[in-house]
Chains A and B, each alone.
Chain A
């Protein structure tokens, strides 16, 4: 919802890429959800059971990835809030508000985060409905760019770009064991919903802004600003509220996971201590870049897909391979 991947030029290509990427993600997540269903333990705990050093390395890998994503999330929230919205707050204050809220929430149980995420998801749908209703007059199907020079290359670029932004695979791999009921169903539902949402947003933005959408820093914001209804002149206010809320939910989940990793590495740490530390590290890393106005370098830097493949696919697949089968599976 923040910005489209760098280097993509066509809305239709990106939408197709998002759909293919979603299908790919569903397949890639199979080992992780099967592992969770079989063991009901997160990959770090399973790795610790296989060996202390292996456990530490696995936990550290997850921790570093979560902290990196939290760092990007904090920075993006502060940067775009400062850049687009007339809020009389310094970047430090913005970061502090967001991080303290996330730290408060990351102390709670994962079920609370799940409920909050679902309420926020409902907010996203309402926001999109408001924006779409207000911008319906400006939507035009001819603005989709059908002409592509090298379709396979553009498509693979879009699939990779979308896949490299899919940090939720690593999160799912880590949290799948905490899901009530069938982790596979939940993961599929989430990924399909996310894919549908991305496709819908890209479609909406492209149908109004055309190829200019991919040159915008915050394309949905631009669309919301152009969307008017009977009550308000623009809908960017709704977008801002929901965008900040989704950002906080994501940050909270990342801090929750980071804190869990920290507690696995340092079992003596208290809950609140580990959550604070998890919040402090990415904040301390993001603040200098934000204060010297260097965050743009981070925004447009390429996002590596390797950690997602390792943490979301290879590691769970290995653990699935080495973990003993359940009695039910043996019977089958």
Chain B
């Protein structure tokens, strides 16, 4: 069946005649194997109960639909009495919707509803009896914390909404549902706190979602290019993905907007700033002095992860006079023994490291350990012993790799920037590093999302937001309205 035909059917209204309705449904859905149609007759009224195999719960179908309908049949009702009972008097399900068109009927059926059609009635009563298989709430894998909560978002939209609602019981928390994707018809929920999030931003984001022409939305990455205003201009993204409900709630509290996508455990937060990548839930479980220390360690890790290999290459190749004499002699002895220039060694090792990391991520955990043994011990040790790479360089690569794991959300940007800095340092020395640094700063400064600069609250300077950037603000300060983003309502308590 061609798609335009299907689209035409979707716009059509349900008929009064049950047989015609069923014919249209069968024709539109191509007698799909997972469509269950149960035909029953209550007194003289023909009824059909439609559901999708696997999407609706068989138990709920039996308990909430078949049983009451059977009981009703015993009372010998007329068609008008049946529809009146279904529409007004029955408490068969908490989620009951009436539909008059085929498009909505199909959407509800594929979302796990059961639809009851009666002969002579040009509408359907749809009851939410979802019973599809879903993963239960589990421990977050990508955003580990020591003291934070241990639950993470799942692939089910409603579960994710409940995880947020459980933490924010305010009536100001708003959930707005949208459907995106021509074929997938994916449910998307925009969550925000009324009065804190910028109303214009919410409106703009909704418009952007509604204008998406994609066929399928299978994860957050599909939506990012449409909502991230600087997606193709910068290596950094002002839209972050989180799997932690506590992080999401903290962001909502700051006036940010959360986008929950059905079928993906990663929810989008926007707009976010560069400094948000350095804040974790653990910071708020520790005393401020330690949280501030931990935050500075993260800033240093970012600089090390991006700059250290390039800086080492530049200094060893072009500016060795910078090193103290003892270190210089050691470095010279180590580098003389290797056949390749430091830039080639560094690139080789970095690429090798990325290959091992990629293998470790893709392989099952039991085999992943073997990769690290082969990579870390055998290749590393053998490379040094065979004289292919120098030992100091291996130390630099090790430090860089460890530093880059401190900030998982920035890893994609870090891994690319690191290679750029190695090339810049290897071919242009510190001059190259300076040029690359300028490009990096321009790149960070160029990200601007919904009126919030990525460099905020440092640039433009907003002292109130700054308290939670270089140190961790105390809870007495956090009691006051505090946010890292630009917000018209920023003074609202």
Indicate with 1 or 0, residue by residue over A237-254, a CB within 8 angstroms of chain B CB atoms.
Answer: 100111111001100100
Instruction: Name the A residues within 8 Å of B321 (CB-CB).
Output: 233-234
Q: Are B439 and A104 in contact (CB under 8 A)?
A: yes
Please name all residues of chain B whose beta carbon is closer than 8 Å to the beta carbon of A232 when the two chains form the complex: 322-324
Q: Is A101 engaged at the interface, CB distance under 8 Å to the other chain?
A: yes
B437 at the interface (CB under 8 A from A): yes
Residue-wise interface mask of B (312-336) relative to A, using a CB-CB cutoff of 8 A (1 in contact, 0 not)? 0001001101111100000000000
Which chain B residues lie closer than 8 Å to A237 at the CB level?
A: 315, 319, 322, 430
Sample of 24 A–B contacts (CB below 8 Å):
A88-B429, A89-B427, A89-B431, A93-B428, A101-B438, A101-B442, A104-B442, A105-B442, A108-B445, A109-B448, A112-B448, A114-B459, A115-B445, A118-B459, A119-B441, A119-B455, A232-B322, A232-B324, A233-B324, A240-B431, A244-B430, A244-B431, A244-B435, A244-B438
User: In the docked arrangement, what's the CA distance between A89 and B460, Å?
Assistant: 37
Check: B433 CB closer than 8 A to any chain A CB: yes
What is the bound-complex CA distance between A241 and B432, given in angstroms? 9
Measured between beta carbons, the chain B residues less than 8 angstroms from A234 are: 321-322
Contact with A along B261-303 (1 / 0, CB 8 A): 0000000000000000000000000000000000000000000
Q: Is the CB of A86 within 8 A of B434?
A: no
Tell me, yes or no, whether A327 is within 8 Å of chain B by CB.
Answer: no
Whether, in the assembled complex, A147 has its beta carbon less than 8 Å from a beta carbon of chain B, the answer is no
Q: How far is the CB of A88 from chain B (nearest CB, A)?
A: 7
Interface of chain A residues 206 through 235 with chain B (CB within 8 A): 231-234
Bound-state CA distance A252–B431 (Å) is 17
A110-153: which have CB < 8 Å to B? 111-112, 114-116, 118-120
Given contacts A87-B428, A232-B322, A248-B438, contact A241 B433 (CB under 8 A): yes
Q: Given A86-B319, A97-B432, A233-B324, are A111 and B453 also a contact pair (CB < 8 Å)?
A: yes
A85 beta carbon closer than 8 Å to chain B: yes
- Give the A-B pair count, Cβ closer than 8 A: 105
Give every chain B residue within 8 A of A109 (Cβ-Cβ): 448
B446 close to A (CB within 8 Å)? yes
Q: Kindly report which residue of chain A lies nearest to residue B455, judged by CB atoms.
A: A115
Alpha-carbon distance between A108 and B438 when the two chains are bound, in angstroms: 13
Q: How far apart are the CA atoms of A85 and B445 in the complex, in Å?
A: 29
234-276 of chain A: CB within 8 A of chain B: 234, 236-237, 240-245, 248-249, 252
User: How far apart are A94's CB and chain B's nearest CB, in angstroms?
Assistant: 7
Q: How many residues of A contact B (CB 8 A)?
A: 39
Let me know if B435 and A97 touch, CB within 8 A. yes
> Given A88-B429, A89-B428, A237-B319, A244 and B434 touching (CB < 8 A)?
yes
- Per-residue CB proximity of B335-355 to A under 8 Å, as 1/0? 000000000000000000000
Set B323, B429, B438, B459: member contacting A115, Cβ < 8 A: B459
User: Which chain B residues lie closer than 8 Å to A33 at the CB level?
Assistant: none
Q: Which residues of B contact A115 (CB under 8 A)?
A: 445, 453, 455, 459-460
Q: Which residue of A lies closest to B456 (CB)?
A: A115
Kindly provide the distance from the CB of B388 to the nearest chain A CB, expressed in whole angstroms: 23
Q: Which residues on the B side are within 8 Å of A236 (C-beta)? A: 322
* Interface residue? A164 (CB, 8 A): no
Q: Does A39 contact B (CB under 8 A)?
A: no
Residues of chain B lying within 8 A (CB to CB) of residue A243: 434
- A101 near B439 with CB under 8 A, answer yes
8 A Cβ contacts from B226-255 to A: none
Contact among A101, A119, A233 with B459 in the assembled complex (CB-CB below 8 Å):
A119
CB nearest neighbor in A for B447: A112
B interface size (C-beta, 8 A): 29
Asked if B431 contacts A94 (CB within 8 A), the reply is yes
CB pair B442–A241 under 8 Å, yes or no, is no
Query: In A8-34, which residues have CB < 8 Å from any B CB?
Result: none
Whether A81 sits at the interface, judged by CB under 8 Å, is yes
**Interface pair B435/A101, CB less than 8 Å apart:** yes
CB distance from A121 to the nearest CB of B (A): 11
Distance to closest chain A CB from B270 (angstroms): 20
Chain A residues near B442: list those with CB within 8 A.
101, 104-105, 108, 112, 116, 252
Of A81, A111, A114, A119, the most chain B CB neighbours within 10 A belong to A119
- Decide: A245 and B438 in contact? CB cutoff 8 A: yes
Taking the closest CB of chain B, its distance from the CB of A97, in whole angstroms, is: 5
Interface string of A72-115 (1 = CB under 8 A from B): 00000000010001111100011001100100110011011011
Q: Per-residue CB proximity of B391-424 to A under 8 Å, as 1/0?
A: 0000000000000000000000000000000000
Starting from the known contacts A98-B435, A118-B459, 17 additional A-B residue pairs (CB-CB under 8 Å) come to A81-B431, A85-B429, A86-B318, A86-B319, A87-B318, A87-B430, A89-B429, A89-B432, A105-B442, A108-B446, A115-B455, A119-B455, A234-B321, A241-B433, A241-B434, A245-B437, A245-B438
Residues of the B chain whose Cβ atoms lie less than 8 Å from the Cβ of A249? 438
A252 to B430, CA, bound (A): 20
With beta carbons under 8 angstroms apart, the residue of A88, A118, A240, A252 that contacts B434 is A240
Q: How far is the CA of A108 from the CA of B439 in the complex (A)?
A: 12
Q: Which of chain A's residues have a CB closer than 8 A to the CB of B437?
A: 241, 245
Give the docked Cα–Cα distance between A230 and B439 (Å): 30
- Choose among B430, B439, B459 the residue with the greatest number of A CB atoms under 10 Å from its CB: B430
Closest chain-A Cβ to B461's Cβ sits at a distance in Å of: 9
Query: Distance in Å from the Cβ of A78 to the closest Cβ of chain B?
Result: 10
Residue of B nearest to A232 (CB): B322
Contacting residues, chain A, for B446 (C-beta < 8 A): 108, 112
Q: Which chain A residue shows the least CB distance to B436?
A: A101
Given A104-B439, A115-B459, A118-B459: A245 in contact with B434 (beta carbons within 8 A): yes
Residue of B nearest to A230 (CB): B324
Q: Closest residue to A100 on the B side, CB-wise? A: B435
Cα distance, A21 to B430, chains bound together (Å): 34
Instruction: Pick the residue among B427, B430, B441 that contacts A85 (CB under 8 A).
Output: B430
Output the least CB separation between B225 and chain A (Å). 20
Of the listed residues B322, B323, B442, B459, the one surrounded by the most CB atoms of chain A closer than 10 A to its CB is: B442
Of the residues B427, B430, B433, B445, contact of A119 by C-beta under 8 Å: B445
Q: Which chain A positions have C-beta within 8 A of B322?
A: 232-234, 236-237
* Closest B residue, CB atoms, query A239: B430
Chain B residues with CB under 8 A of A240: 430-431, 434
Within 8 A of A (CB), among B455-474: 455, 459-460
Q: Scan A275-314; emit 1 where CB is below 8 A from any B CB, else 0.
A: 0000000000000000000000000000000000000000
Chain B neighbourhood of A111, CB < 8 A: 448, 453
Min CB gap B386→A, angstroms: 28
Distance in Å from the Cβ of B450 to the closest Cβ of chain A? 15
Chain B residue numbers with a CB within 8 Å of A180 are 460
Q: How far is the CA of A180 from the CA of B318 in the complex (A)?
A: 42
* Closest beta carbon of chain B to A70's beta carbon, Å: 16
In the assembled complex, which residues on chain B have CB atoms less than 8 Å from the CB atom of A118? Answer: 459
A94 to B428 Cα, complex, angstroms: 9
Report the bound CA distance from A104 to B445 in whole Å. 13
B159-196 interface (Cβ within 8 A of A): none
